Amino acid sequence: MTWSAVRATSAARSSFSLDWLAGAAFRLSVRVLSLLPLGVARGLCRRLAGLVWRSNSRATVVTRTNLTICYPELDTRALESLVRASLAETACVLAESGALFHWHERRWRALANSATAPGSGALGETLASGTGALVLMPHYGNWEFLGLYLGALAEHDVLALFQPQRFSSVTQRLVAARGRSGLKLAPMDRAGIRAAYRQLGSGGCLLLLPDQVPRRAAGVYAPFFGTPALTMTLAHRLIQRTRPEVFMAVAGRTSNGFEVTIQAMDDAVYKASAEQHAGAINAAIEAVVRDDPAQYQWEYRRFRRPPAGAADPYSQT
């Protein structure tokens, strides 16, 4: 065996070991969290988030950068308070994963502080009429809970597009957990996008996270809190071809669960112009975020891939 072959074999084994360890650590942490009352799990992860804030980690720096861009009026004290609160709320997504991945359906469904059942309201009426429904779910509150909740739509087929994780073992676990309520999943690749067109064209329900940064060729720039942000055009293409009804949904965090809100989007989201469409989506997300800014995932580098000539705000992270 040549030296290059030995190195390749060693690298493959190392990659496999790292993937296995990541999957094992993820499964163990989620299982432990599932044994705790929700309030205790949230409190534990919020304390850990405090340590992350004090360490000035990459997540802290990215969060601070985003909030500085979007809330320039905040003084240093108010800014740092919001940075810390955001890290704590994002940590709660991990804290809540135990309940979502392992609790019995009746128990996790009781976390929804909503008198509206998943299949009722305007969304249910749309699907009952045979019209497709595109549900946009920004990274606010707990989108994992929202997907699980909407996956339980009675008598309706629900598909969600997702971005695979770095470690395949973690991706496999996430897909299995997300599908517990009947939700079907497809990766954000060519096959998955074809499945999305079929889903809406046949009158089904499609869930999509609209605030993920796409490749430059797959997006347009639209203002988000007054700053140009590369915004995906996939939703625009789906709407123009299949003519679904479009909704925005969030699961905001409350003291004992989540407040699920599903609202029909403004007419601007149906515009033929991709830029106008993207602007309408970002404006709708911005309106949601302003209700409770800490619950938005500011740890995500939303302003990466800036317009030509603009500086990368994350260049120091």
In this predicted model, what pLDDT tens digit does every residue of 25-53 receive, in sequence order? 778 888 999 999 999 999 999 999 999 99
Rounded to whole angstroms, the Cα distance separating 105 from 174 reads: 17
What is the band of 63 on the pLDDT scale with cuts at 50, 70, 90? very high
Same domain, 115 and 242: yes
The residue from 59, 78, 102 where one domain ends is: 102
Same domain, 87 and 235: no
Q: Is residue 310 a part of any domain in this protein?
A: no
Verify that 148 and 219 share a domain, yes or no. Answer: yes
**Model pLDDT, residue 6:** 36
Q: Please state, in angstroms and rounded to a whole number, the distance separating the CA atoms of residues 302 and 166.
A: 19
Residue 242 pLDDT exceeds 70 = yes
Any domain includes 301 = no
Number of Cβ within a 10 Å radius of residue 13 = 10
pLDDT value at 18 more than 90: no
Residue 19's pLDDT is 65
Residue 5 has pLDDT above 70, yes or no: no
Tally of domains in the chain? 2
> Is residue 303 helix, strand or coil?
coil
- Per-residue pLDDT averaged across 129-158, rounded? 91
Asked whether residue 107 carries a pLDDT value surpassing 60, the answer given is yes
Q: Please report which confidence band the pLDDT of residue 177 belongs to, taking 50, 70 and 90 as the band edges.
A: confident
Q: Among 51, 101, 75, 49, which residue's Cα sits nearest to residue 299?
A: 49
Q: How confident is the model at residue 11 (pLDDT cuts 50, 70, 90)?
A: very low
Going across the sheet that includes 133-136, the strands are 184-187, 158-162, 205-208, 133-136, 245-254, 257-264
**Does position 90 have pLDDT exceeding 50, yes or no?**
yes
**Whole-structure pTM over 0.75, yes or no?**
yes
Of all helices (H) and strands (E), which one includes residue 159? Answer: strand 158-162
3-state SS string for 248-295: EEEEEEECCEEEEEEEECCHHHHCCCHHHHHHHHHHHHHHHHHHCHHH
User: Is residue 309 assigned to a domain?
Assistant: no
Please give the residue range of the domain that contains residue 15.
3-102
186 and 92 co-located in one domain:
no
Nearest CA-CA partner of 224 in 131, 93, 133, 313: 313
Looking at the fold, whether 40 and 130 belong to one and the same domain comes out as: no
The least confident of 15-29, 94-108, 148-162, 196-210 is 15-29
Q: 8 pLDDT exceeds 50?
A: no
Residue 117: pLDDT band with limits 50, 70, 90: low
Q: Are residues 123 and 266 in the same domain?
A: yes
pLDDT mean over 69-83: 98
